[in-house]
Structure 1
Amino acid sequence: MGRGCLFSALPVAVLQGSVTALATLLHPIMTQTALANLSLVGSALIFCVGVNLIWPRTFKPANMLPAVVIAVALAFA
């Protein structure tokens, strides 16, 4: 390890801290249905990444990221 690890510790701490703070703020809002939808879409995206490891250029998971927001929004509709 070295200087690179020391310099990367600050951005990692800021990123993880902000994700934790956002999760704490969203905790009262999220329902079981929204979490189930989020989990389903996230699992499908992870599956697409795995398929891309086997067969290149099959799916573009980055283009499917808005589905995460849509799935949670549909739980509240």
Structure 2
Amino acid sequence: MKSAINIQDQVLNQLRKDNTNCTVFLLNGFQIRGQIKGFDNFTVLFESEGKQQLVYKHAISTFVPQRNVQLDLDNQQ
């Protein structure tokens, strides 16, 4: 039986590995522009202009990467 695909983690990990700049829209309308440095089940660590921000995932509305994220969803284990 195939395990469930976790697209959220795959996208965040690819953005982190590629150092892709992205804009993150928070639920309160605030925007963060920077790079993802790490993440866990509840938070995402961003770096922007030399400063780091730890943001709770429940406060995030949308990620908009500067370039498309390449995922291989067919070859999941």
TM-score band (shorter)?
under 0.3
The normalised TM-score by structure 1 is 0.26
Larger Rg: 1
